[in-house]
Amino acid sequence: MIRIRRLFLPQVGVRGSVKHFFREFQNSLGDRRRKIKEVPQDRRESPHARLHKIAPGTRERSKFLPDELALLRGLLCELLSEDSCAEWLGFKDLAHPDTLPPLRLLASLVRESDWTDEENIHKLRMYRAAAFVDYLRPDVIDWETPRISDMEWVLEFIEVFTLSGISVEDQINLIDDLSRPQVPLDTITRTSRGPRIELSASELRYIWETRELSHEARAIAWDNRIPKPFQPLDRSNVEMYRDKKLRDAWRAAVNRLLTKAKVSHAPDSDGNERELN
């Protein structure tokens, strides 16, 4: 595995805290686009700036709206793009000799002079992912010191998120899990996440019909459905809900089922049918 170094170090002679460098990195990735007149206005905004607009509202609501999850998935794909990282680091500046390259103060502090381009891109992808995680779960990982075990987890998350053949739905589910503090970080990166739940049209309709119930009332109702209990995880819903070790996994799975039911029965409705209690 490529060695892990700190995101950047202050220039020799600089004293005091360098925390503002990390905040600037987290808040301004992609800001240089605003200075390029050839780029349409709707593409000049930093991915992290858009993420910054979403995350505070999400923490206040304690949930994501369905379109926000899709947007976050697209933003993370962009942040992890090797082409995007190479451009941010300035490796493509020579490809446009007639254009004055933008100032890259942060990039100059991030680049490792004794590393190859590939190694520097790997480093930037790792810290972009860490900044993304920190937006959704503030102060849960230490990416500034950094704590090596936390950054190794970030690398595992990148590996799982970019698995060959991974579906858009599975990527969205990973971000959904990441956004829920009750879901342990180590479970998010487990590749054996269980088989995807296949639902019939009538089952999706039933999920939608019970959307107003609390999780506890839903568990009871699903177990007592007539003529046959509805147990999508092949276990008693009540037992899983009342088991402290299984409750979070059951609620996360139910919330995904609610999203699927919403897509089938109310694709144009506003808001999110997820329920966290």
Q: Range of 120's domain? A: 19-188
Does residue 218 form part of some domain?
A: yes
113 and 250 share one domain = no
Structure confidence by residue, pLDDT tens digits, 168-187: 988 998 998 888 888 888 88
Nearest-angstrom CA–CA distance, 218 and 71: 29
- My answer on whether 28 and 151 are in the same domain is yes
Question: Which distant-in-sequence residues (6+ apart) come within 8 Å of 65 by Cβ?
Answer: 271, 272
Whole-number percent of the chain with pLDDT over 70: 72
What global pTM score does this model have? 0.64
Q: Judge if 24 and 127 occupy the same domain.
A: yes
In this prediction, residues 72-100 reach a mean pLDDT of 83
Residue 135: its pLDDT value, please?
A: 85
Question: Residue 12 domain-assigned?
Answer: no
Indicate the number of domains in the chain: 2
User: Over the stretch 37-71, which tens digit does the pLDDT of each residue have?
Assistant: 344 444 444 555 556 666 555 556 666 777 888 88
Are residue 209 and residue 176 in the same domain, yes or no? no
Q: Considering only CA atoms, give the Rg of the chain.
A: 22
- pLDDT greater than 50 at residue 112: yes
| Residues 177 and 260 grouped into a single domain | no
**Mean model confidence pLDDT for the chain:** 79
Q: Based on the fold, state whether residues 108 and 220 are members of the same structural domain.
A: no
Q: Are residues 120 and 181 in the same domain?
A: yes
181 & 206 share domain: no
Residues 6+ apart with CB under 8 A from 64: 58, 72, 176, 179, 272, 274
For 230-255, letters b (16+ CB in 10 Å) and e give: bbbeeeebbebbeeeeebbbbbbbbb
Domain identity same for 71 and 165 = yes
Across 266-275, average pLDDT: 49
Is residue 276 one of the residues assigned to a domain? Answer: no
Look at residues 188, 221, 252 and tell me which one is the last residue of a structural domain.
188
